[in-house]
A and B are shown apart, each in its own frame.
Chain A
Protein backbone atom coordinates (compact mmCIF):
# COMPACT_ATOMS: atom_id res chain seq x y z
CA UNK A 1 0.00 0.00 0.00
CA UNK A 2 1.31 3.45 -0.92
CA UNK A 3 1.84 5.60 2.11
CA UNK A 4 2.11 9.38 1.64
CA UNK A 5 5.24 11.05 2.89
CA UNK A 6 5.16 12.17 6.50
CA UNK A 7 2.52 9.68 7.58
CA UNK A 8 2.92 6.84 10.06
CA UNK A 9 1.94 3.20 9.92
CA UNK A 10 -0.84 2.62 12.42
CA UNK A 11 -1.63 -0.98 11.45
CA UNK A 12 0.58 -3.12 9.27
CA UNK A 13 -0.77 -5.29 6.45
CA UNK A 14 -1.06 -8.45 8.53
CA UNK A 15 -2.95 -6.64 11.28
CA UNK A 16 -5.36 -5.11 8.77
CA UNK A 17 -6.08 -8.37 6.95
CA UNK A 18 -6.50 -10.13 10.29
CA UNK A 19 -8.76 -7.35 11.56
CA UNK A 20 -11.07 -7.45 8.57
CA UNK A 21 -11.39 -11.24 8.58
CA UNK A 22 -12.37 -10.94 12.23
CA UNK A 23 -14.75 -8.10 11.45
CA UNK A 24 -16.42 -10.08 8.65
CA UNK A 25 -16.89 -13.08 10.92
CA UNK A 26 -18.22 -10.90 13.70
CA UNK A 27 -20.78 -9.16 11.48
CA UNK A 28 -21.99 -12.48 10.03
CA UNK A 29 -22.21 -13.97 13.52
CA UNK A 30 -24.14 -10.96 14.78
CA UNK A 31 -26.65 -11.15 11.92
CA UNK A 32 -27.14 -14.91 12.13
CA UNK A 33 -27.07 -14.97 15.92
CA UNK A 34 -29.60 -12.18 16.35
CA UNK A 35 -31.91 -13.87 13.84
CA UNK A 36 -32.05 -16.87 16.19
CA UNK A 37 -32.35 -14.65 19.26
CA UNK A 38 -35.33 -12.39 18.68
CA UNK A 39 -38.31 -13.04 16.40
CA UNK A 40 -38.36 -9.48 15.02
CA UNK A 41 -34.89 -10.19 13.59
CA UNK A 42 -35.65 -13.67 12.23
CA UNK A 43 -35.80 -12.19 8.71
CA UNK A 44 -32.01 -11.85 8.89
CA UNK A 45 -31.84 -15.64 8.52
CA UNK A 46 -32.84 -15.11 4.86
CA UNK A 47 -29.38 -13.62 4.30
CA UNK A 48 -27.95 -17.04 5.04
CA UNK A 49 -30.43 -19.07 3.00
CA UNK A 50 -33.10 -19.59 5.66
CA UNK A 51 -33.31 -20.79 9.25
CA UNK A 52 -31.77 -24.22 8.70
CA UNK A 53 -28.75 -22.75 6.91
CA UNK A 54 -28.36 -20.05 9.53
CA UNK A 55 -28.38 -22.65 12.29
CA UNK A 56 -25.88 -24.78 10.38
CA UNK A 57 -23.42 -22.05 9.37
CA UNK A 58 -23.36 -19.90 12.52
CA UNK A 59 -21.14 -22.22 14.61
CA UNK A 60 -18.62 -22.63 11.79
CA UNK A 61 -18.25 -18.87 11.44
CA UNK A 62 -17.72 -18.90 15.19
CA UNK A 63 -14.81 -21.28 14.80
CA UNK A 64 -13.32 -18.97 12.17
CA UNK A 65 -13.78 -15.98 14.48
CA UNK A 66 -11.99 -17.67 17.35
CA UNK A 67 -8.99 -18.51 15.17
CA UNK A 68 -8.95 -15.06 13.59
CA UNK A 69 -9.28 -13.23 16.90
CA UNK A 70 -6.47 -15.34 18.34
CA UNK A 71 -4.32 -13.76 15.62
CA UNK A 72 -5.34 -10.29 16.78
CA UNK A 73 -4.52 -11.18 20.38
CA UNK A 74 -1.03 -12.26 19.33
CA UNK A 75 -0.49 -9.01 17.43
CA UNK A 76 -2.01 -6.53 19.85
CA UNK A 77 -1.71 -7.81 23.43
CA UNK A 78 1.60 -6.08 24.16
CA UNK A 79 0.21 -2.63 23.48
CA UNK A 80 -2.96 -3.20 25.50
CA UNK A 81 -1.69 -3.44 29.07
CA UNK A 82 -3.34 -0.90 31.31
CA UNK A 83 -1.11 1.85 32.71
CA UNK A 84 -1.41 4.97 34.86
CA UNK A 85 -2.04 6.99 31.70
CA UNK A 86 -5.25 5.03 31.22
CA UNK A 87 -6.56 6.10 34.61
CA UNK A 88 -5.85 9.76 33.84
CA UNK A 89 -7.46 9.37 30.40
CA UNK A 90 -10.52 7.67 31.88
CA UNK A 91 -10.90 10.45 34.45
CA UNK A 92 -10.95 12.90 31.55
CA UNK A 93 -13.57 10.86 29.68
CA UNK A 94 -16.07 13.73 29.76
CA UNK A 95 -13.58 15.88 27.84
CA UNK A 96 -12.86 13.01 25.46
CA UNK A 97 -16.56 12.71 24.71
CA UNK A 98 -16.84 16.45 24.07
CA UNK A 99 -13.83 16.50 21.69
CA UNK A 100 -11.99 18.82 24.13
CA UNK A 101 -8.56 17.41 23.31
CA UNK A 102 -6.68 20.11 25.25
CA UNK A 103 -7.79 18.64 28.57
CA UNK A 104 -7.10 15.01 27.67
CA UNK A 105 -3.83 13.57 28.99
CA UNK A 106 -1.43 12.16 26.37
CA UNK A 107 -1.48 8.41 25.89
CA UNK A 108 0.38 5.67 24.03
CA UNK A 109 -0.69 3.63 21.03
CA UNK A 110 -4.07 2.74 22.54
CA UNK A 111 -6.35 4.59 24.93
CA UNK A 112 -8.30 2.99 27.77
CA UNK A 113 -11.41 2.65 25.62
CA UNK A 114 -9.55 0.78 22.91
CA UNK A 115 -7.92 -1.44 25.54
CA UNK A 116 -11.32 -2.17 27.03
CA UNK A 117 -12.60 -3.28 23.62
CA UNK A 118 -9.55 -5.51 23.21
CA UNK A 119 -9.79 -7.19 26.60
CA UNK A 120 -13.57 -7.48 26.57
CA UNK A 121 -13.43 -9.31 23.24
CA UNK A 122 -10.51 -11.40 24.48
CA UNK A 123 -12.75 -12.58 27.30
CA UNK A 124 -16.07 -12.77 25.45
CA UNK A 125 -15.01 -14.55 22.26
CA UNK A 126 -13.64 -17.65 24.07
CA UNK A 127 -16.71 -17.66 26.33
CA UNK A 128 -18.93 -17.51 23.25
CA UNK A 129 -16.92 -20.29 21.63
CA UNK A 130 -17.07 -22.65 24.60
CA UNK A 131 -20.74 -22.09 25.38
CA UNK A 132 -21.40 -22.33 21.64
CA UNK A 133 -19.82 -25.79 21.55
CA UNK A 134 -22.16 -26.95 24.32
CA UNK A 135 -25.23 -25.88 22.30
CA UNK A 136 -23.88 -27.03 18.92
CA UNK A 137 -26.69 -29.52 18.54
CA UNK A 138 -25.37 -31.32 15.46
CA UNK A 139 -22.09 -32.47 17.02
CA UNK A 140 -22.39 -31.96 20.75
CA UNK A 141 -26.12 -32.28 21.43
CA UNK A 142 -25.56 -35.49 23.37
CA UNK A 143 -22.25 -34.49 24.97
CA UNK A 144 -23.65 -32.55 27.90
CA UNK A 145 -26.75 -32.62 30.08
CA UNK A 146 -29.78 -30.59 29.06
CA UNK A 147 -29.35 -28.49 32.20
CA UNK A 148 -25.78 -27.64 31.16
CA UNK A 149 -27.10 -26.62 27.75
CA UNK A 150 -29.70 -24.35 29.35
CA UNK A 151 -26.98 -22.55 31.30
CA UNK A 152 -24.74 -22.43 28.23
CA UNK A 153 -27.38 -20.86 26.00
CA UNK A 154 -28.06 -18.23 28.67
CA UNK A 155 -24.38 -17.34 29.02
CA UNK A 156 -23.97 -17.43 25.22
CA UNK A 157 -26.75 -14.88 24.73
CA UNK A 158 -25.48 -12.62 27.53
CA UNK A 159 -21.92 -12.70 26.20
CA UNK A 160 -23.15 -12.10 22.65
CA UNK A 161 -25.15 -9.04 23.65
CA UNK A 162 -22.18 -7.65 25.57
CA UNK A 163 -19.92 -8.25 22.56
CA UNK A 164 -22.40 -6.64 20.15
CA UNK A 165 -22.78 -3.55 22.34
CA UNK A 166 -19.00 -3.24 22.58
CA UNK A 167 -18.80 -3.69 18.81
CA UNK A 168 -21.31 -0.86 18.27
CA UNK A 169 -19.16 1.41 20.46
CA UNK A 170 -16.04 0.29 18.54
CA UNK A 171 -17.62 1.05 15.16
CA UNK A 172 -18.99 4.40 16.30
CA UNK A 173 -15.62 5.44 17.74
CA UNK A 174 -14.04 4.72 14.36
CA UNK A 175 -16.62 6.90 12.61
CA UNK A 176 -16.38 9.61 15.27
CA UNK A 177 -12.61 10.02 15.36
CA UNK A 178 -11.81 10.97 11.78
CA UNK A 179 -8.78 9.25 10.34
CA UNK A 180 -9.35 6.05 12.32
CA UNK A 181 -11.01 4.15 9.50
CA UNK A 182 -8.15 4.89 7.13
CA UNK A 183 -5.81 3.63 9.85
CA UNK A 184 -7.46 0.23 9.46
CA UNK A 185 -8.11 0.29 5.69
CA UNK A 186 -4.96 1.88 4.28
CA UNK A 187 -3.04 1.46 7.49
CA UNK A 188 -1.56 4.92 7.98
CA UNK A 189 -2.31 8.08 9.96
CA UNK A 190 -1.02 11.61 9.59
CA UNK A 191 1.47 13.09 12.03
CA UNK A 192 -1.23 15.46 13.26
CA UNK A 193 -3.59 12.56 13.94
CA UNK A 194 -0.93 10.72 15.92
CA UNK A 195 -0.07 13.94 17.78
CA UNK A 196 -3.70 14.68 18.59
CA UNK A 197 -4.85 11.24 19.71
CA UNK A 198 -1.80 9.19 20.73
CA UNK A 199 0.89 11.73 21.58
CA UNK A 200 3.12 9.41 23.64
CA UNK A 201 3.14 6.85 20.84
CA UNK A 202 3.90 9.62 18.31
CA UNK A 203 6.81 10.95 20.39
CA UNK A 204 8.19 7.45 20.79
CA UNK A 205 8.11 6.93 17.03
CA UNK A 206 10.00 10.19 16.50
CA UNK A 207 12.56 9.35 19.18
CA UNK A 208 13.34 6.03 17.56
CA UNK A 209 12.99 7.26 13.99
CA UNK A 210 10.30 4.64 13.37
CA UNK A 211 7.50 4.96 10.85
CA UNK A 212 5.27 2.84 13.11
CA UNK A 213 3.50 1.08 14.50
CA UNK A 214 6.22 -0.02 16.95
CA UNK A 215 7.78 0.80 19.36
CA UNK A 216 5.11 1.88 21.77
CA UNK A 217 7.12 1.79 25.00
Chain B
Protein backbone atom coordinates (compact mmCIF):
# COMPACT_ATOMS: atom_id res chain seq x y z
CA UNK B 1 0.00 0.00 0.00
CA UNK B 2 1.02 3.55 -0.42
CA UNK B 3 0.88 6.32 2.06
CA UNK B 4 -2.60 7.44 3.16
CA UNK B 5 -2.29 11.11 3.95
CA UNK B 6 -5.88 11.28 5.15
CA UNK B 7 -4.92 9.12 8.12
CA UNK B 8 -2.44 10.02 10.83
CA UNK B 9 0.27 7.60 11.76
CA UNK B 10 0.37 6.78 15.41
CA UNK B 11 3.31 4.46 14.93
CA UNK B 12 5.99 4.42 12.25
CA UNK B 13 8.70 1.76 12.06
CA UNK B 14 12.34 2.66 12.77
CA UNK B 15 11.52 6.26 13.57
CA UNK B 16 12.77 8.32 16.46
CA UNK B 17 10.54 11.33 15.85
CA UNK B 18 6.82 11.80 16.43
CA UNK B 19 4.99 11.25 13.14
CA UNK B 20 2.51 13.89 11.91
CA UNK B 21 -0.44 13.73 14.29
CA UNK B 22 -2.63 16.77 13.97
CA UNK B 23 -5.72 14.84 12.83
CA UNK B 24 -6.64 13.15 16.06
CA UNK B 25 -10.34 12.57 15.61
CA UNK B 26 -10.17 9.24 13.82
CA UNK B 27 -12.16 6.44 15.31
CA UNK B 28 -10.43 3.16 16.04
CA UNK B 29 -11.79 0.53 13.72
CA UNK B 30 -12.06 -3.23 14.03
CA UNK B 31 -13.04 -6.20 11.94
CA UNK B 32 -15.05 -8.77 13.85
CA UNK B 33 -14.91 -12.33 12.56
CA UNK B 34 -17.69 -14.40 14.03
CA UNK B 35 -16.32 -17.92 13.63
CA UNK B 36 -19.64 -19.40 14.76
CA UNK B 37 -21.35 -17.91 11.70
CA UNK B 38 -18.73 -18.84 9.12
CA UNK B 39 -19.73 -21.46 6.54
CA UNK B 40 -16.29 -21.70 4.94
CA UNK B 41 -17.35 -20.52 1.48
CA UNK B 42 -14.10 -18.57 0.91
CA UNK B 43 -15.93 -15.61 -0.58
CA UNK B 44 -13.68 -13.47 1.62
CA UNK B 45 -10.58 -15.05 0.08
CA UNK B 46 -11.90 -14.39 -3.39
CA UNK B 47 -12.89 -10.84 -2.55
CA UNK B 48 -9.44 -10.20 -1.11
CA UNK B 49 -7.79 -11.45 -4.31
CA UNK B 50 -10.22 -9.44 -6.39
CA UNK B 51 -9.88 -6.12 -4.61
CA UNK B 52 -6.13 -6.32 -4.09
CA UNK B 53 -5.41 -7.81 -7.54
CA UNK B 54 -3.69 -10.83 -6.04
CA UNK B 55 -3.39 -14.13 -7.87
CA UNK B 56 -1.48 -16.75 -5.89
CA UNK B 57 -0.12 -19.61 -7.96
CA UNK B 58 -2.51 -22.54 -8.29
CA UNK B 59 -1.26 -25.16 -5.83
CA UNK B 60 -2.04 -28.82 -5.15
CA UNK B 61 -4.87 -30.62 -3.39
CA UNK B 62 -3.56 -31.92 -0.08
CA UNK B 63 -6.66 -33.70 1.25
CA UNK B 64 -7.91 -30.67 3.14
CA UNK B 65 -10.24 -27.79 2.49
CA UNK B 66 -7.39 -25.38 3.17
CA UNK B 67 -6.60 -23.87 -0.20
CA UNK B 68 -3.95 -22.65 -0.65
CA UNK B 69 -2.11 -24.45 2.14
CA UNK B 70 -0.71 -21.37 3.76
CA UNK B 71 -0.70 -17.61 3.69
CA UNK B 72 1.70 -16.20 1.12
CA UNK B 73 2.93 -12.97 -0.37
CA UNK B 74 -0.21 -12.95 -2.53
CA UNK B 75 -2.52 -14.78 -0.12
CA UNK B 76 -3.37 -12.28 2.55
CA UNK B 77 -6.30 -14.14 4.04
CA UNK B 78 -6.96 -17.85 4.27
CA UNK B 79 -9.73 -20.05 5.63
CA UNK B 80 -8.24 -22.62 7.95
CA UNK B 81 -10.39 -25.69 8.60
CA UNK B 82 -10.13 -27.76 11.76
CA UNK B 83 -12.08 -30.92 12.54
CA UNK B 84 -12.57 -30.94 16.29
CA UNK B 85 -14.22 -33.69 18.32
CA UNK B 86 -15.75 -32.09 21.39
CA UNK B 87 -16.27 -33.59 24.86
CA UNK B 88 -19.60 -35.05 23.80
CA UNK B 89 -17.91 -36.88 20.95
CA UNK B 90 -19.50 -34.70 18.33
CA UNK B 91 -17.64 -33.29 15.38
CA UNK B 92 -17.24 -29.56 15.23
CA UNK B 93 -15.96 -28.04 12.04
CA UNK B 94 -14.04 -24.98 13.14
CA UNK B 95 -13.34 -22.57 10.32
CA UNK B 96 -11.15 -19.58 11.00
CA UNK B 97 -10.34 -16.82 8.57
CA UNK B 98 -6.61 -16.28 9.14
CA UNK B 99 -4.77 -13.07 8.34
CA UNK B 100 -3.20 -10.05 9.93
CA UNK B 101 -4.70 -9.24 13.33
CA UNK B 102 -3.70 -5.55 13.20
CA UNK B 103 -2.33 -5.57 16.74
CA UNK B 104 -2.54 -2.44 18.81
CA UNK B 105 1.12 -3.10 19.70
CA UNK B 106 2.43 -4.56 16.43
CA UNK B 107 5.46 -6.85 16.74
CA UNK B 108 6.24 -6.47 13.03
CA UNK B 109 6.50 -2.70 13.40
CA UNK B 110 8.62 -3.02 16.53
CA UNK B 111 11.08 -5.31 14.75
CA UNK B 112 11.22 -3.42 11.43
CA UNK B 113 14.56 -1.62 10.75
CA UNK B 114 13.38 0.39 7.72
CA UNK B 115 11.97 3.83 8.51
CA UNK B 116 8.32 4.03 7.49
CA UNK B 117 8.11 0.54 6.01
CA UNK B 118 5.45 -0.35 8.57
CA UNK B 119 3.01 2.20 9.91
CA UNK B 120 -0.02 2.17 12.12
CA UNK B 121 -2.76 4.63 11.28
CA UNK B 122 -4.70 6.42 13.97
CA UNK B 123 -7.65 4.14 13.19
CA UNK B 124 -5.52 1.19 14.28
CA UNK B 125 -4.76 -0.37 10.89
CA UNK B 126 -1.19 -1.67 10.55
CA UNK B 127 0.03 -1.21 7.00
CA UNK B 128 3.18 -2.13 5.09
CA UNK B 129 4.48 0.73 2.91
CA UNK B 130 6.14 -1.50 0.32
CA UNK B 131 8.45 1.06 -1.25
CA UNK B 132 10.25 1.45 2.10
CA UNK B 133 10.49 -2.30 2.76
CA UNK B 134 14.03 -3.72 2.50
CA UNK B 135 13.03 -7.41 2.62
CA UNK B 136 15.01 -8.34 5.73
CA UNK B 137 12.27 -10.50 7.26
CA UNK B 138 12.47 -8.91 10.72
CA UNK B 139 8.67 -8.41 10.66
CA UNK B 140 8.31 -12.19 10.39
CA UNK B 141 10.29 -12.53 13.63
CA UNK B 142 8.33 -9.76 15.32
CA UNK B 143 4.87 -11.11 14.48
CA UNK B 144 3.27 -13.29 17.17
CA UNK B 145 0.73 -14.65 14.64
CA UNK B 146 3.06 -15.79 11.82
CA UNK B 147 1.46 -13.54 9.23
CA UNK B 148 3.93 -11.58 7.03
CA UNK B 149 5.35 -13.33 3.98
CA UNK B 150 8.34 -12.17 1.92
CA UNK B 151 7.91 -12.27 -1.82
CA UNK B 152 11.06 -13.89 -3.27
CA UNK B 153 10.72 -11.90 -6.50
CA UNK B 154 10.66 -8.31 -5.27
CA UNK B 155 11.94 -9.01 -1.71
CA UNK B 156 9.07 -7.16 -0.11
CA UNK B 157 6.94 -8.28 2.79
CA UNK B 158 3.19 -8.56 2.34
CA UNK B 159 0.10 -9.09 4.46
CA UNK B 160 -3.52 -7.98 4.84
CA UNK B 161 -3.90 -4.19 4.74
CA UNK B 162 -7.38 -4.35 6.26
CA UNK B 163 -8.18 -2.69 2.93
CA UNK B 164 -6.73 0.56 4.27
CA UNK B 165 -7.37 2.06 0.83
CA UNK B 166 -11.08 1.26 1.11
CA UNK B 167 -11.37 2.17 4.78
CA UNK B 168 -9.63 5.48 4.07
CA UNK B 169 -12.54 6.48 1.83
CA UNK B 170 -15.27 5.17 4.09
CA UNK B 171 -15.80 1.69 2.66
CA UNK B 172 -15.64 -1.58 4.54
CA UNK B 173 -12.88 -4.12 3.71
CA UNK B 174 -13.53 -6.30 0.66
CA UNK B 175 -13.86 -9.51 2.71
CA UNK B 176 -16.53 -7.87 4.87
CA UNK B 177 -18.50 -6.80 1.81
CA UNK B 178 -18.36 -10.27 0.30
CA UNK B 179 -19.30 -12.35 3.34
CA UNK B 180 -22.74 -13.86 2.67
CA UNK B 181 -23.60 -14.80 6.27
CA UNK B 182 -22.55 -11.67 8.10
CA UNK B 183 -19.76 -13.55 9.81
CA UNK B 184 -17.37 -10.69 9.08
CA UNK B 185 -18.37 -7.29 10.36
CA UNK B 186 -16.56 -3.99 10.30
CA UNK B 187 -17.01 -0.79 12.29
CA UNK B 188 -15.64 1.10 15.22
CA UNK B 189 -13.79 -1.05 17.71
CA UNK B 190 -16.26 -0.19 20.48
CA UNK B 191 -19.27 -1.08 18.29
CA UNK B 192 -17.65 -4.36 17.30
CA UNK B 193 -16.87 -5.17 20.93
CA UNK B 194 -20.49 -4.44 21.89
CA UNK B 195 -21.84 -6.57 19.06
CA UNK B 196 -19.46 -9.38 19.97
CA UNK B 197 -20.85 -9.24 23.52
CA UNK B 198 -24.34 -9.89 22.19
CA UNK B 199 -23.11 -12.77 20.04
CA UNK B 200 -21.21 -14.30 22.93
CA UNK B 201 -24.28 -14.11 25.16
CA UNK B 202 -26.32 -15.82 22.45
CA UNK B 203 -23.73 -18.57 22.00
CA UNK B 204 -23.64 -19.14 25.75
CA UNK B 205 -27.41 -19.46 25.82
CA UNK B 206 -27.08 -22.14 23.15
CA UNK B 207 -24.69 -24.20 25.25
CA UNK B 208 -21.28 -22.85 24.34
CA UNK B 209 -20.35 -22.02 27.92
CA UNK B 210 -16.84 -20.89 26.97
CA UNK B 211 -17.82 -18.67 24.09
CA UNK B 212 -16.00 -15.36 24.09
CA UNK B 213 -14.29 -12.55 22.27
CA UNK B 214 -10.68 -12.95 21.13
CA UNK B 215 -9.05 -9.53 21.58
CA UNK B 216 -5.75 -10.64 23.13
CA UNK B 217 -4.38 -8.19 25.72
CA UNK B 218 -0.81 -9.49 25.26
CA UNK B 219 -0.52 -7.38 22.09
CA UNK B 220 -2.63 -4.51 23.46
CA UNK B 221 -5.76 -5.87 21.80
CA UNK B 222 -6.24 -6.30 18.07
CA UNK B 223 -8.15 -4.54 15.34
CA UNK B 224 -9.23 -7.89 13.97
CA UNK B 225 -11.17 -9.82 16.60
CA UNK B 226 -12.80 -13.24 16.65
CA UNK B 227 -15.95 -14.49 18.29
CA UNK B 228 -15.01 -18.03 19.29
CA UNK B 229 -17.26 -20.78 20.65
CA UNK B 230 -14.24 -22.05 22.61
CA UNK B 231 -12.56 -18.84 23.68
CA UNK B 232 -10.87 -20.76 26.49
CA UNK B 233 -8.90 -22.73 23.88
CA UNK B 234 -8.08 -20.46 20.92
CA UNK B 235 -5.39 -22.89 19.74
CA UNK B 236 -8.17 -25.30 18.69
CA UNK B 237 -8.72 -22.98 15.75
CA UNK B 238 -5.76 -24.04 13.58
CA UNK B 239 -3.20 -22.90 16.12
CA UNK B 240 -4.52 -19.44 16.96
CA UNK B 241 -2.14 -18.41 19.79
CA UNK B 242 -3.68 -18.78 23.25
CA UNK B 243 -1.76 -15.85 24.70
CA UNK B 244 -0.03 -13.99 21.89
CA UNK B 245 2.69 -11.52 22.80
CA UNK B 246 5.78 -10.13 21.12
CA UNK B 247 8.59 -12.63 21.69
CA UNK B 248 10.83 -11.77 24.63
CA UNK B 249 13.82 -12.24 22.33
CA UNK B 250 12.47 -9.52 20.04
CA UNK B 251 11.72 -7.33 23.05
CA UNK B 252 15.24 -7.75 24.43
CA UNK B 253 16.75 -7.05 21.02
CA UNK B 254 14.69 -3.96 20.24
CA UNK B 255 13.98 -2.44 23.66
CA UNK B 256 17.18 -3.14 25.59
CA UNK B 257 20.11 -3.93 23.34
CA UNK B 258 19.34 -1.39 20.60
CA UNK B 259 19.80 1.73 22.74
CA UNK B 260 22.48 0.22 25.02
CA UNK B 261 24.59 -0.91 22.09
CA UNK B 262 24.74 2.49 20.43
CA UNK B 263 25.63 4.02 23.79
CA UNK B 264 28.31 1.36 24.32
CA UNK B 265 29.97 2.02 20.97
CA UNK B 266 29.80 5.80 21.42
CA UNK B 267 31.21 5.62 24.96
CA UNK B 268 34.10 3.39 23.84
CA UNK B 269 34.97 5.83 21.08
CA UNK B 270 34.70 8.77 23.52
CA UNK B 271 36.90 6.96 26.03
CA UNK B 272 39.53 6.59 23.32
CA UNK B 273 39.24 10.25 22.37
CA UNK B 274 39.68 11.47 25.93
CA UNK B 275 42.52 9.04 26.54
CA UNK B 276 44.24 10.67 23.58
CA UNK B 277 43.60 14.12 25.06
CA UNK B 278 44.55 13.27 28.64
CA UNK B 279 47.33 10.68 28.31
CA UNK B 280 48.34 11.24 24.73
CA UNK B 281 50.22 9.11 22.26
CA UNK B 282 52.77 6.49 23.22
CA UNK B 283 55.81 7.42 21.17
CA UNK B 284 59.06 5.56 20.78
CA UNK B 285 61.83 7.80 22.14
CA UNK B 286 65.42 8.25 21.08
CA UNK B 287 66.39 6.56 24.37
CA UNK B 288 64.44 3.47 23.23
CA UNK B 289 66.37 3.45 19.97
CA UNK B 290 69.60 3.88 21.96
CA UNK B 291 68.75 1.06 24.36
CA UNK B 292 67.79 -1.14 21.44
CA UNK B 293 71.13 -0.47 19.76
CA UNK B 294 72.96 -1.66 22.87
CA UNK B 295 71.30 -5.03 22.54
CA UNK B 296 72.42 -5.50 18.96
CA UNK B 297 75.36 -7.76 18.09
CA UNK B 298 78.63 -5.80 18.02
CA UNK B 299 78.90 -5.42 14.26
CA UNK B 300 75.56 -3.66 13.96
CA UNK B 301 76.21 -1.11 16.70
CA UNK B 302 77.96 1.32 14.40
CA UNK B 303 75.71 1.87 11.47
Contact = CB atoms under 8 A, between A and B. Distances in A.
Contact of B268 (A137, A147, A168, A194): A168
B295 A52 contact: no
A203 to B, nearest CB: 7
Interface in A169-217: 169, 171-172, 175-179, 190-197, 202-203, 206, 209
B283 A178 contact: yes
A202 B264 CA distance: 36
B114 A193 contact: no
Contacts of B250: 150, 154
Residue among B137, B140, B150, B268 with max Cβ neighbours from chain A (10 Å) = B137
Given A97-B279, A141-B150, A161-B264, A192 B136 contact: no
B292 A137 contact: no
Contacts of A120: none
Interface residues of B, number: 54
A178 B281 contact: yes
A79 B16 CA distance: 46
Given A141-B150, A150-B249, A203-B295, A36 B269 contact: no
Interface stretch (A16-24, A37-45, A68-76, A121-129): A37-45
The 7 closest A-B pairs by CB, nearest first: A51-B134, A192-B289, A172-B272, A192-B288, A137-B137, A195-B292, A191-B292
Given A164-B265, A193-B288, 6 more contacts: A6-B303, A39-B15, A55-B134, A147-B247, A178-B281, A192-B292
Contacts of A195: 288-289, 291-292, 295
Nearest to A156: B253
Interface in B220-270: 247, 249-250, 252-253, 257-258, 261-262, 264-265, 268-269
Nearest to B142: A150
Contacts of B252: 154
Interface string A1-13: 0000110000000
A192 B285 CA distance: 7
B205 to A, nearest CB: 40
Contacts of B137: 135, 137, 141, 149
B300 interface: yes
Residue among A51, A135, A171 with max Cβ neighbours from chain B (10 Å) = A51
A46 to B, nearest CB: 12
B177 interface: no
A191 B296 contact: yes
Nearest to B291: A195
Nearest to B156: A52
Contacts of A176: 272, 275-276, 281-282
Given A39-B115, A149-B140, A154-B249, A168 B303 contact: no
A39 B285 contact: no
B249 A151 contact: yes
A157 B257 contact: yes
B113 interface: yes
Residue among B113, B138, B152, B250 with max Cβ neighbours from chain A (10 Å) = B113
Contacts of B39: none
B253 A153 contact: yes
23 contacts: A35-B113, A36-B113, A36-B134, A45-B134, A50-B134, A52-B134, A54-B134, A55-B155, A97-B275, A135-B141, A137-B137, A137-B140, A138-B155, A146-B141, A153-B253, A158-B257, A168-B265, A168-B272, A171-B272, A177-B281, A191-B296, A192-B292, A202-B292
B261 A157 contact: yes
Nearest to A98: B279
Nearest to B295: A206
Given A178-B281, A206-B297, A52 B155 contact: yes
B136 A137 contact: yes
Interface in B90-104: none
Nearest to A137: B137
A165 interface: yes
A72 to B, nearest CB: 22
Interface string B49-74: 00000000000000000000000000
